[in-house]
Amino acid sequence: MHTDKIRALNPCASVSIRGQFFPLCPVFTNLNRPDLRLTGVTRLLGILVCASALAQAPVVGDIEFYGLHNLTPERILGPIRLSTGDPIPPSKGALEDRIAEIPGVVLARVEAACCQGRRTILFIGIEERGGPHPAFRSAPEGQATLPPEIVDSYKEFLGAVSHAAGQGRTAEDLTAGHSRMDDPAARAIQDRFLTFAADHVEMLRSVLRNGSEDDQRATAAAVIGYVPKKEAVLDDLQFALQDPDDAVRANAARALNAFAVAGIKVSPTWLLEMLNSVVLSDRVEAVRTLLTLTDKPAPEVIAQLREHGLPAVVEMARWKTPTYALPPFLLVARAAGLTDQQAQTSWQKGDRETVIGKVVGGPQRKR
329, amino acid identity: F
Q: What confidence score (pLDDT) does residue 3 get? A: 38
pLDDT at 271 over 90: yes
For range 33-53, the mean pLDDT:
32
pLDDT at 51 over 90: no
For range 59-81, the mean pLDDT:
95
Q: pLDDT-derived band of residue 77, with 50, 70 and 90 as boundaries?
A: very high
Q: pLDDT-derived band of residue 355, with 50, 70 and 90 as boundaries?
A: very high
pLDDT at 262 over 50: yes
Q: How many beta carbons lie within 10 A of that of residue 313, not counting itself?
A: 27
Which of 144, 315, 135 has its CA nearest to residue 241?
135
Q: pLDDT-derived band of residue 42, with 50, 70 and 90 as boundaries?
A: very low
Backbone angles phi, psi at 161, to 5 degrees: -65, -45
For range 143-154, the mean pLDDT:
96
Which of 228, 229, 211, 230 has its CA nearest to residue 220?
211
Task: Pick the range with the lowest mean pLDDT from 6-10, 62-66, 135-139, 290-294.
Answer: 6-10
Q: CA-to-CA distance for 254 and 285, rounded, in angstroms? A: 7
pLDDT at 50 over 70: no
Q: What confidence score (pLDDT) does residue 269 get? A: 96
What would you report as the CA-atom Rg of the chain, rounded to the nearest whole angstrom? Answer: 20
Q: Where are the domains of the chain?
A: 13-39+137-360, 51-128
pLDDT at 43 over 90: no
pLDDT at 80 over 70: yes
pLDDT at 339 over 50: yes
Which of 221, 220, 223 has its CA nearest to residue 189?
223
CATH C-level class of 13-39+137-360: mainly alpha
Task: Pick the range with the lowest mean pLDDT from 55-64, 82-91, 328-337.
Answer: 55-64
Which of 241, 273, 242, 246 has its CA nearest to residue 257?
241
Distances in Å between the Cα of 63 and the Cα atoms of 59, 74, 106, 125 are 11, 11, 20, 11
Question: For residue 298, how far is the Cα from the chain centroid?
Answer: 22
Q: pLDDT-derived band of residue 335, with 50, 70 and 90 as boundaries?
A: very high
CATH fold of the domain at 51-128: Ubiquitin-like (UB roll) (3.10.20)
For range 186-208, the mean pLDDT:
97
Q: What confidence score (pLDDT) does residue 56 get? A: 67
Which of 72, 168, 50 has its CA nearest to residue 120?
50
Q: What confidence score (pLDDT) does residue 295 get? A: 95
For range 162-172, the mean pLDDT:
91
> Helices 246-261 and 214-224 sit at what angle, rounded to 10 degrees?
0
For range 30-56, the mean pLDDT:
33
pLDDT at 364 over 70: no
Q: pLDDT-derived band of residue 115, with 50, 70 and 90 as boundaries?
A: confident
Backbone angles phi, psi at 16, to 5 degrees: -90, 115
* pLDDT mean across residues, the chain: 85
Q: What percent of the chain has pLDDT over 70?
A: 83
Q: pLDDT-derived band of residue 129, with 50, 70 and 90 as boundaries?
A: very high
Which pLDDT tens digit goes with each residue over 3-32? Answer: 333 232 333 433 433 333 333 333 322 222
Q: pLDDT-derived band of residue 117, with 50, 70 and 90 as boundaries?
A: confident
Q: What confidence score (pLDDT) does residue 40 get? A: 25
Which of 267, 187, 197 has its CA nearest to residue 234?
267
Q: pLDDT-derived band of residue 54, with 50, 70 and 90 as boundaries?
A: very low
For range 274-297, the mean pLDDT:
96
Q: pLDDT-derived band of residue 57, with 50, 70 and 90 as boundaries?
A: confident
For range 140-149, the mean pLDDT:
95
